[in-house]
Amino acid sequence: MYVMIILAVVLALVLVYVWYQKSSLVNELNIEKDALTEQMITLQNEYATLSSDNDMINAQLDSSREEVSQLIERIKKTEATNRIMIRKYEKELGTLRSIMRNYIEQIDSLNTLNHKLTADAAAARKEAAETRRQSEQLSKAVAELTGQVAAGAVLKGRAIRMDAYNASDKVTDRSSRVVRLMTTLSLVENELAPKGPVRVYIRVKGPDGILLTSTDKHTFTLNGEPMMCSASREVDYQGEEVEMSIYLNGIEDYVKGIYTVEAYTDENLLGSAELMLR
C-alpha cells in the first residue's frame, strides 16, 4: 500500500511537471504568435504610408496590402502550437518586407527622377520665356528699324515756290496779266528712296479756296483716297536731288488775292507755298 501511495505521488508529480512544461511551451508559442502578428500589423501600417505617382506601382502596392491583410487574418486563426504554419508565416513576412524595400527604392528613384524632370521643365520654361522675350525684343527692334527705314525712304521736297507768268513769259504779280502759273521745287537727295520714275502732283487753290483745274483734269491717290490735282509731271529719280517745274495752263481768269499750291507724290505731301496777285 505504501508503495502504491509513493508511486501515485510520483506519477502525480510527473504529470504536474509535464503539464507545467506544456503550459510554458504554449505560452511561449502564443507570445511568438502575438509578436508575429504585431510585426505584420506594423508592416501593414508601413505599406499604408507608401504612395507613388506611377499607376503600375500603385496597383502592385494595392495587391501587396491585400496580401498582408489576408496574412494577418490567417495568423489570427492559426493555433500557436501549429509550428509549421507559424514558420511559414514568418517566411512570408520576410518576403513581404523585401518586396516593400523594393517598392521604397522604386518610389525614391521615381521621386528623384520627377524632381529632376520638374527642375528641367522649369529650366526649359525659363529658357523658353527668355527666348520669347528676346524674340519679342528683336521683333520690336526690327519693326522700329523697318519703320525708320520706311520713314527714311519717304521722298521729300524743298524750295517750293509758285510764280505767275504773263503772255511774254515774264514773271508778273498782276492778276489781269497772268496766263499761267509755274511751281518749282526740288526732290531731296535720298539714297533710301526707291529709284525710278516719280510723278509729282500740284493742287493750286485760288483766293476763294476753290481748286484750279484745266480742261484736262487729273486725279491721284493718297493714302487710299482719290484726290484731284491741278497738274502733274513725271521725273526720273535716282536718289540724287532733282529740280523740276510744273506749269498750270488753261485757266481763263485770275483774280486778286493769295493763291496756294501744295505738291504731292503718291505717298505724301512734299510741301506748300503761296503767291500774292494784285
pLDDT tens per residue, range 22-71: 555 567 777 777 887 888 888 888 878 887 777 787 788 788 888 888 88
Same domain, 100 and 26: yes
Instruction: Determine, yes or no, domain membership for 249.
Output: yes
Residue 119 scores a pLDDT above 90: no
User: Of 80, 113, 146, which one is at a domain's C-terminal end?
Assistant: 113
pLDDT value at position 26?
Answer: 61
Lowest-pLDDT range of 186-195, 240-249, 252-261: 186-195
Measured CA to CA, the distance from residue 269 to residue 258 in angstroms comes to 20
| Residue 163 phi, psi dihedral angles, 5° rounding | -125, 155
Instruction: Determine, yes or no, domain membership for 192.
Output: yes
Instruction: Determine, yes or no, domain membership for 120.
Output: no
Residue 212 scores a pLDDT above 80: yes
pLDDT value at position 23?
Answer: 59
Mean pLDDT score, 202-212: 93
Q: Rounded mean pLDDT of the chain? A: 83
Same domain, 163 and 65: no
User: Of 113, 138, 171, which one is at a domain's C-terminal end?
Assistant: 113
Using a 10 angstrom Cβ sphere, with 0-12 exposed, 13-18 middle and 19 or more buried, the burial of residue 67 is middle
Cell numbers that stand for 210 in this block: 476753290
Instruction: Determine, yes or no, domain membership for 236.
Output: yes
Measured CA to CA, the distance from residue 59 to residue 268 in angstroms comes to 75
**248 close to 180: Cβ distance less than 8 angstroms:** yes
User: Of 60, 80, 113, which one is at a domain's C-terminal end?
Assistant: 113
Q: How many domains, in total, are found in the chain?
A: 2
Same domain, 170 and 270: yes
Instruction: Determine, yes or no, domain membership for 132.
Output: no
Work out the end-to-end distance of the chain between its first and last CA atoms, rounded to an integer number of angstroms. 178
Q: Where are the beta strands (DSSP E) in the chain?
A: 157-165, 180-187, 196-205, 218-222, 225-229, 231-237, 242-248, 257-264, 269-277
Same domain, 28 and 96: yes
Same domain, 12 and 108: yes
Measured CA to CA, the distance from residue 147 to residue 139 in angstroms comes to 12
pTM of the full structure = 0.50
Instruction: Determine, yes or no, domain membership for 127.
Output: no
Instruction: Determine, yes or no, domain membership for 126.
Output: no
Same domain, 87 and 173: no
Instruction: Determine, yes or no, domain membership for 124.
Output: no
Same domain, 178 and 259: yes
Same domain, 59 and 163: no
| Residue 71 phi, psi dihedral angles, 5° rounding | -65, -40
Range of the domain at 27: 2-113
Between CA 104 and CA 115, with CA 110 as vertex, the angle to 5 degrees is: 125
CATH code assigned at 225: 2.60.40.2560
Supply the DSSP string of 17-66, one letter for each residue. HHHHHHHHHHHHHHHHHHHHHHHHHHHHHHHHH---S-HHHHHHHHHHHH
Same domain, 162 and 272: yes
